[in-house]
Amino acid sequence: MNGLPAVKGFIETSFVDWQGRMASVVFLPRCNFRCPYCHNHRLVTDPDQYRTLDLEGVFAKLEGLRGWVDGVCVSGGEPTIHTLLPQFLEEFKERGWPVKLDTNGSKPKMVETILMTGLAEAFSVDVKAPLESIPYRKNAGRGADPASVARTLAILADWGADVEVRTTVHPALLTIEECVRLRAQVSEIFGRPIKVKWQLCRGEDTLDPALLSEHTLKLAEFDKLVEEIEGA
């Protein structure tokens, strides 16, 4: 469909992308962050190497999954950098598909527009670090602005939106103290305790080769780290 964001990937069924729902996942290209642990970095930096999927073909696949799939996650990349994202989401709404939007929170005005138009039922916000310049830019690149992320979270809180907060953890990038501070800052914005979904850095094909698997935590080590964060 002319002018709409290109679809560069599609997963028919996922149990993990929308909590409590079986969902399909649509991937949009490009991102304004450069997270060193990013495992989708080719989609971010060189999306033209991926075939653009026909949106009508995606809808045809979704129609065949109706009754089995409960909604569609729109992910990336970073969806909110696309000016025509509202029109893109409208295509799903017109076909009766609930949408969850994944975002890094860098575009609060776009998130507010989507809230005002009712184009997404839920949001996942990837909060990269404590909402402070130095740790945020360490985890998301020099152009990352934590104030914009804080503003997005505040907008979602004001609207009472269904929000999941996620943070990817790599020991070279985030300390336990920083994780605890991040959780406290997000909880303060929402005015209530927020449970952060801590995610283990995959350590596979990362944007920064220094973060490859030999430098990441094993699952048991990660579980222990999460226990320490939650117990702090």
**pLDDT at position 188:** 98
pLDDT at residue 108, as a whole number: 99
- The pair phi, psi for residue 60, each rounded to 5°, is -65, -40
- The pLDDT assigned to 204 comes to 73
Residues of the chain with pLDDT under 70: 1, 203, 212-217
Q: How many helices (H) and strands (E) does the chain have?
A: 8, 7
Report the CATH fold assignment for 9-231.
TIM Barrel (3.20.20)
Instruction: Kindly list the domain boundaries of the chain, sorted by start residue.
Output: 9-231
Give the pLDDT confidence score for residue 187 in this predicted structure. 98
> So what's the pLDDT on residue 39?
87
Axis crossing angle, helix 108-117 with helix 146-159, rounded to the nearest 10: 20
pLDDT of residue 1: 62
The strand order across the sheet containing 196-200 reads 9-14, 23-27, 71-75, 99-103, 122-126, 162-169, 196-200
Give the chain's radius of gyration (CA, Å): 17
Under a CB-based contact definition with an 8 Å cutoff, are residues 10 and 180 in contact? Answer: no
What's residue 72's pLDDT?
Answer: 99
DSSP category for residue 211: G
Question: What is the C-alpha to C-alpha distance for residues 68 and 113, in angstroms, rounded to an integer?
Answer: 30
Q: How far apart are CA 170 and CA 175, in angstroms?
A: 8
